[in-house]
Amino acid sequence: MGKLGIKSVTCLVVFFLFAVWFPTVALAGTSVTPGNLRLGDRGPDVTLLQTKLKVAGFYQGEKVSGYFGLNTLFAVSKFEKANRLRVDGIVDAEEWIALQKLTAIPADKLKKMVLGYYTVDYTGDKLSYNSLDKYSSYIDTVATFSFKVNRDGSLTGEVPQDALKLAKERSVETLLLVHNIGQPIDSDAAHYALSVAENRSRLEANIMSKVKANGYNGVNIDIEALPPGDRQYYNIFLKELGDQLHKENLLLTVSIPAKTFDSTNDSWSGAYSYKDIGQLVDQAMIMTYDEHWFGGSPGPIASVPWINKVMDYAVEVMPREKIFLGVAAYGYDWSSQGTRAVRWNQVNDLVKNSGNVIWDNTNSVPCVIYYKNGVRHELWFENNYSLRFKLETVKSYNVSGIAIWRLGFEDDSFWKMVNDEFRQAD
Picking from 110-114, 237-241, 361-365, which range would have the lowest pLDDT averaged per residue? 110-114
10 Å CB burial of residue 310 (0-12, 13-18, 19+) is buried
pLDDT number for residue 424: 58
Residue 6 in this model has a pLDDT that exceeds 60: no
Residue 212 in this model has a pLDDT that exceeds 70: yes
**What residues make up the domain containing 158?**
111-423
Domain boundary among 103, 138, 153: 103
The phi, psi pair for 8, rounded to 5°, reads -65, -45
Residue 72 in this model has a pLDDT that exceeds 50: yes
pLDDT number for residue 52: 86
pLDDT number for residue 354: 78
Domain boundary among 54, 78, 103: 103
Same domain, 391 and 260: yes
What tens digit of pLDDT does each residue of 308-359 get? 999 999 999 999 999 999 999 999 999 999 999 999 999 988 888 777 899 9
Same domain, 153 and 52: no
Q: What is the mean pLDDT of residues 257-272?
A: 97
- Residue of 156, 176, 153 whose CA lies nearest to 164: 176
- C-alpha span between 251 and 263 (Å, rounded): 28
pLDDT number for residue 61: 62
Same domain, 42 and 17: yes
- C-alpha span between 367 and 34 (Å, rounded): 21
Same domain, 68 and 209: no
- C-alpha span between 145 and 157 (Å, rounded): 9
**pLDDT confidence bin for 102, thresholds 50/70/90:** confident
Q: What is the mean pLDDT of residues 2-11?
A: 39
Are 281 and 242 within 8 A, CB to CB?
A: yes
Same domain, 401 and 266: yes
Domain boundary among 56, 76, 103: 103
- Residue of 311, 323, 312 whose CA lies nearest to 277: 323
- pLDDT over 70 percentage in the chain: 89
- Count of domains for the chain: 2
Same domain, 125 and 99: no
Are 140 and 115 within 8 A, CB to CB?
A: yes
Point out which residues pair with 124 in neighbouring strands. none
What tens digit of pLDDT does each residue of 130-143 get? 999 999 999 999 99
- pLDDT over 90 percentage in the chain: 76
Q: Average per-residue pLDDT in the chain?
A: 89
Same domain, 151 and 84: no
Of 113 and 11, the one with more pLDDT? 113
- The CATH number given to whatever domain includes residue 50 is 1.10.101.10
Task: Locate all alpha helices (DSSP H) within 332-425, ordered by sequence.
Answer: 344-352, 384-397, 412-418
Same domain, 217 and 322: yes
Same domain, 76 and 178: no
pTM: predicted TM-score of the whole model, two decimal places: 0.78
Same domain, 98 and 204: no
